[in-house]
Amino acid sequence: MNTATLLISCPDRKGLSAAIANFLYTYNANIVHVDQHQDNSENLFLMRVEWDLTDFTLDMEAFTPAFQPIADRFQMQWSVALSAERPKMAIFVSKYDHCLVDLLYRHKSGELHCDIPLIISNHEDCRALAEFYGIAYHVIPVGKDNKAEAEAAQKALLEAHGIDLIVLARYMQVLSHQFTAAYPQRVINIHHSFLPAFDGAKPYHRAFARGVKLIGATSHYVTEVLDDGPIIEQDVIRISHRDDVEELIRKGRDLEKMVLARAVKWHLEHRVLVYSNKTVIFA
């Protein structure tokens, strides 16, 4: 189905839903999915509406000037996306390949609506996977003495390929504030813990030492504060006192790839709205 998706956030007030629906109806839109949420604590209205473009009489190139008066009246922050457009996604990876394998398989099977023109790594380990799927693989070593130069090389590749989304598939390097600021809400990470518990390094080891009964994984947008960006998806699994650290890591990897895949899919389908360092997911 050829569709358009409108994401909206604005101060909550009467008439919002009616104004949006009436605007779309004016141009013969067939709405196929609509969802909304009111955050009463912040007096905020959030909405996702998707409609079939088959009989839509407004040229999408004219959508912005036509819709802007309504947006101005209700003080909306908004964006519109077309299903016919395929975002370009880059994957960053280090040595652990489980999340990369899962994402590449889901992409090949058609589950992820995007193109993947390149994979960037600081190690050679995953090159064979990239070659199997016919994706360019770029190794950019990163050390404490060349971090700025490495990020400049990474950004040059991203800009050359017109990348819309960056996915950190267990990329074991901390990105600088300058890097993340260039891609707001366009860098998705998978952290191997149920944040905010056990942020930072070696969370499975710390969880084992603490004797927890549940371990988790968290996918979130990357910000300048480590492991503190808006959370997109989380999941947990029960563990036993019989599980050692290696077993926690094995069980956790299954969670990591599923949680990351959901977050990436929802982002690509324009189902995520961010506000106040948290998200609404119109899943």
Cα dihedral 112, 113, 119, 122 sign: negative
Q: E-assigned strands of 169-247?
A: 187-191, 214-221, 231-238
Q: Write down the residue that tokens 């395929």 correspond to.
A: 86
pLDDT of residue 75: 98
Dump pLDDT digits (tens) for 111-160: 999 999 999 999 999 999 999 999 999 999 998 899 999 999 999 999 99
Q: What is the pLDDT of residue 41?
A: 95
* pLDDT at residue 132, as a whole number: 98
pLDDT score, position 199: 86
pLDDT confidence of residue 98: 97
pLDDT for position 40:
95
Q: In 3D, which of 265, 268, 269, 199 has the Cα closest to residue 233?
A: 265
**Residue percentage of the chain with pLDDT more than 70:** 100
**Phi-psi map region of 69: left, alpha, beta (phi>0 left; psi -120 to 50 alpha):** alpha
- What are the CA-CA distances from residue 23 to residues 27, 32, 36, 57 (Å)? 7, 15, 17, 12
Active site residue 228: no
Catalytic pick from 55, 227, 235, 244? 227
pLDDT for residue 198: 84
Which residues of the chain, if any, have pLDDT below 70? Answer: none
**What was the pLDDT predicted at 144?**
86
Residue 127, Cβ density class (10 Å: 0-12 exposed, 13-18 middle, ≥19 buried): middle
Find the angle CA(81)-CA(83)-CA(89) to the nearest 5 degrees.
80
**CB 278 within 8 Å of CB 231:** yes
Record the pTM. Answer: 0.94
At 109, which amino acid appears? S
User: Residue 3 belongs to what H/E stretch?
Assistant: strand 3-11
Phi, psi of 255 (to 5 degrees): -65, -45
Rounded distance between C-alpha atoms, residue 63 and residue 42, angstroms = 29
The DSSP secondary structure of 31-87, one letter per residue, reads: EEEEEEEEETTTTEEEEEEEEE-TT--S-GGGHHHHHHHHHHHTT-EEEEEETTS--
Domains of the chain: 3-82 (3.30.70.260), 88-281 (3.40.50.170)
Mean pLDDT, the chain, rounded, equals 96
